[in-house]
């Protein structure tokens, strides 16, 4: 499995791109099942979200920065056994409370997480920037659709002004579309601040749209990838496929194939 995983991501990783799974894609399953599915798709990276049941054997415990140390150890062992690395964690709530924020950062450090994905309160940003530099862990500001706090890339860009490059955007292209925004223009607006991505392609450009395999919808995924290459963005691309929940793996496999194909053409 390790050789297969390494081979399928080779072109993308030359560009500094790592394709992973947002575990929310498999929110009808346990985190361990999400890891299994991620590995079966040839991917080596995963983004955990708070609230997912850990496993059938640990059904009383959910993924969280408050997980007991013993469960964290079991989760690490599961990830290692499947050759999958936990790189991102979110979306998690963060506010101007240093003790509470340190709990999240301590968890991230202990689990080897590189980026915490959040929609933090504005007063918390300078505190979070300080903690990012101390822990050497990033904060990626996620955008849910309008009227959420960070729905517009302009709002995210302004929020990052004056902060270190460890604070930036978790660019969710599908949610921009649902907000009536052009994802390509949004990426251009956030140049220099893109930390990670929740990449999507949708069947419609706005409204009640749903996910479709990359390259088959209205999301102009190739144009987005070309722009990210132009910006020399080096980031984790998390697939967050929010459709056909129980049988999404075949569609996701098409996303992986499309991503690898375009990456190979852009190297």
pLDDT digit string (tens) for 122-151?
A: 999 999 999 999 999 999 999 999 999 999
Mean of the per-residue pLDDT values of the chain: 96
What residues contact 225, with CB distance under 8 A and at least 6 apart? Answer: 259, 262, 263, 266
With pLDDT > 70 as the criterion, what percentage of the chain qualifies? 97
The answer to whether residue 73 scores a pLDDT higher than 80 is: yes
pLDDT at 194: 98
The answer to whether residue 60 scores a pLDDT higher than 70 is: yes
Please report, for the chain, the start and end positions of each structural domain, with discontinuous segments joined by +. 2-266
Query: Contact at 8 Å (CB) between 138 and 116?
Result: yes
CA distance 114 to 141: 14
pLDDT at 206: 76
What value, to the nearest 5°, has the Cα angle with vertex 16 and ends 152 and 107? 70
What residues contact 158, with CB distance under 8 A and at least 6 apart? Answer: none
Q: What pTM value is reported for the model?
A: 0.96
Per the DSSP assignment, residues forming a β-bridge with 172 are: 198
CA distance 109 to 38: 22
Question: What is the average per-residue pLDDT within 93-119?
Answer: 98
The answer to whether residue 193 scores a pLDDT higher than 80 is: yes
The domain made up of 2-266 has a fold known as: TIM Barrel (3.20.20)
pLDDT at 231: 98
Q: Which residue has the tokens 């980031």?
A: 235
Residue 155 token pair: 């709002």
CA distance 251 to 247: 8
């Amino acid at each position: 499995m390790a050789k297969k995983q390494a081979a399928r991501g080779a072109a993308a990783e030359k560009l500094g791109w790592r394709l992973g799974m947002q575990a929310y894609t498999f929110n009808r399953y346990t985190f361990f099942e999400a890891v299994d599915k991620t590995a079966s798709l040839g991917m080596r990276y995963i983004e955990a979200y708070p609230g997912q049941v850990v496993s059938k054997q640990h059904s009383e415990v959910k993924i969280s920065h408050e997980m007991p140390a013993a469960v964290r150890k079991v989760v690490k062992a599961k990830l290692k056994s499947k050759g999958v690395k936990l790189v991102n964690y979110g979306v998690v709530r963060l506010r101007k409370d240093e003790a509470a924020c340190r709990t999240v950062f301590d968890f991230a450090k202990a689990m080897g997480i590189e980026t915490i994905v959040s929609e933090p309160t504005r007063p918390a940003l300078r505190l979070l920037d300080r903690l990012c530099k101390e822990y050497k862990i990033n904060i990626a500001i996620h955008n849910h659709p309008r009227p959420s706090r960070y729905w517009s890339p302009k709002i995210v860009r302004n929020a990052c002004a004056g902060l270190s490059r460890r604070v930036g955007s978790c660019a969710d292209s599908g949610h921009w579309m649902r907000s009536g925004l052009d994802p390509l223009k949004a990426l251009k607006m956030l140049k220099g601040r893109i930390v990670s991505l929740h990449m999507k392609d949708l069947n419609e450009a706005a409204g009640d749209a749903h996910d479709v395999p990359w390259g088959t919808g209205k999301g102009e995924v190739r144009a987005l990838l070309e722009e990210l290459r132009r910006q020399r963005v080096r980031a984790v691309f998390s697939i967050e496929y929010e459709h056909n929940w129980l049988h999404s793996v075949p569609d996701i496999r098409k996303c992986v194939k499309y991503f690898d194909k375009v990456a190979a053409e852009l190297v």
